[in-house]
Structure 1
Amino acid sequence: MPRVARPRRAGARREALAAYAFIAPNYLLLLIFVLVPLVGAFLVSLQRTDGFGDGTFTGLDNYARLASDPLFWRSLGNTLLFTAIVTPLSMAFGLFAAVMLNSALPARPVLRSLLILPMAVSGVATALIGVLIFDQNSGALNKIAQLFGLPSIDWQSQAGPAFASIVIATVWWRTGFNMLIYLAGLQGLGPDLYEAARLDGAGAWQRFRNVTLPLLGPTTFFLVILNVIYSFQVFDIVFVLTGGGPGGATSVLVTYAYETGFVTRDQGYAAAIGMVLFLFALLFAAGQWRASRTRDLVE
C-alpha cells in the first residue's frame, strides 16, 4: 500500500505545482499593479505633502481632517446618491432591453448593436457627447426646447440639472453593458421551467417575476457589485461634463481627490480620500458576498 500511495502523492504534488505555475503570472501582476500601489497610497496617506520633496509623517492626521471637512462629506453624499440612482436605473434598463432582445423582436441584431455601441467609446468620449447634448448655451436639448417655445435649462449653472446630466449620461453608457450580461444570463436559462409555468397557467408577468428574476439572481449579484464599484470610482464623465460644479454640487470622491492631489498639491490628504473610497467599496463587496452566501444557505 505505501508503494501505491507514494506515487499518487507525488502526482498530486506535481499537479499542484503545475497549477501554481499557471496562476503565478496573474498573482504577480496583481502584486505589481494592485497591491504595491495600494500599500504605497496608504503610506502616502500618513504623510503631509505639498508635491515637492519628501512628505512629513503625520500619522492619522489626514484621516482626522476628513471628519471635519464639509467638502469631503458633500462629495461622499454625492457619490452615494449617484450610486443609488445610477445602479438600479442602468440595471433595470439593461434587464428590460435584454428581455426584449431575448424574445422574437424584429431587427434584434440592429437593436443589440445600438445598445452595445456606447461600450465602444470611453467615458471621456461619452462625456463629450453629453456636452454636445446638455450644454446650456449650444446644447441640442436647449436648441430643441427653443424650437418648441419651451424655456431653456441651465444644465451647468443649477445643481439639480447638472447632477441629472451626469446621471443620464452614465445610465446611457452603462445600460448596454448590463444588457449584454443579462442577455447572456437569459440565454443560459433552459425552457423547461418556463414551459412548466405556462402549463400551470402562469402569465408573462408571473413567469418573469417567479422564474426569470430568481434564476438571474447570480447575474444580478455580479452586476450590482460591478455597477456599485464603478459608481464609487466615477471620474471621467463628471470631470468633463460638469467639473464637479456648480459649487461642488456634482463633486464626487474621486474628483475631490483629484483636485486635492493635483490642484492644491496635498497628495497625502488625497491618498487618504482614496483609501476611504477603497474601504467603502471593499465593505460593500464583502457585505454583498456575505448576504448572497447567507441567502443561498437559507434556500
Structure 2
Amino acid sequence: MLDYAALSAVASVAREGSFERAASALGVTPSAVSQRVRALEDRLGAILIVRGQPCTPTAIGARLCAHVDRVRLLEGEMASALPALAGQGAEAGPPTIRVAVNADSLATWFIPAVASFAGRGDRLVDLVIAGEDHTAERLRSGDVLAAVTTDRTPVQGCRTVPLGALRYAAAASPSFMAAWFAGGVDAAALARAPVLRFDRRDHLHERWARAALGTAPDAPTHWIPSAHGFVDAALAGLGWCVNPLPMVAEHLAAGRLVGLAAGRYLDVPLYWQHARIGTRLLDALTRDVVAAAARGLLDG
C-alpha cells in the first residue's frame, strides 16, 4: 500500500515549490516533510522531487501527485455522500482540479467557466498554461485531470467533448503594414517582416500563412510569451502576429490594427478532455466549460 502521508508531502512540495512552504501547508516541520519524501523515494527506488529553487517533481513524482489529486477528489465525493466523513480531511482544504489550458483560451472564453465552477465554494482550480496542441500531453503524463486541447483522439482513461472553434486573425499596426507590406502580403514580404510568437511550440503563424497564402516562409521572430502582450506588441508596431479574433476585433474595427489578408481567418477546433473518474466536481466543471465555450467559440 502507498503511504499517503508521504504522498501528501511529495504533492505539497511540488505544489508549493519548497520544503518549508510545504511544511507550513501541512502543519508539520520541514524536517518531517523531508523525511517523508526521502522515505518514499527510498521505498520506490526513484527520485520524486528535484531539489532546487523552486523544487519540482520528476516524471514519476508528477504521476504520484496526480494520483493524490484523484484520491482527494474521490474522497471529497465520498464525504458529500456520507456526512459523517465531512471535515475529516478539512486540514487539506477543498479539493483542487488541475487543468491544462492554452493561453489564448484563458485570455478569451475560459475564465467565465472557471468563475462559474469555483463560485460554488467547495472547490479550487490549478491552471497550467500549455500550447493547445500540447495540453493533451499533460493528460497523458497524469499531470492534470482535464485539458483544453486540439487533440480529438481520447487520451486513455479520458472522455472527449467537442467545444467549438477559436477564430484567429493575422494583424499588424498600420505603420508596420506600411513599412513591411507596402507591396502587398506575399511570401517574400512574410520572409522579411518580423513575426511575434508565444514560444518555440507556437506555429499558428505558419498555419495561418499556409491556409491564407499557401506558403509559410521563415521570418525574423520576436518571442513574447503573453497573449495580451501579443496585442500590445502588435499595436506598438513590433511585428505581425496571429491573435484570437475576440482579442483584436475592436482594434481592427477602429483601424488600430490591420488584417494581413482581409477575411482570411484560421479556425482552430478545440476539445475538452477529462479523466473518467466519475466525480461530481469534474462533471460540474465540464458543464461550465461547455456552456462557456458555447458563448465564446464558433460552432465546431
Relative to the length of structure 2, the TM-score reads: 0.21
Compare the two structures and name the one with the higher helix fraction.
1
Structure with more relative contact order (C-alpha pairs < 8 Å, separation 6 or more): 1
Query: Which of structures 1 and 2 has the bigger CA Rg?
Result: 1
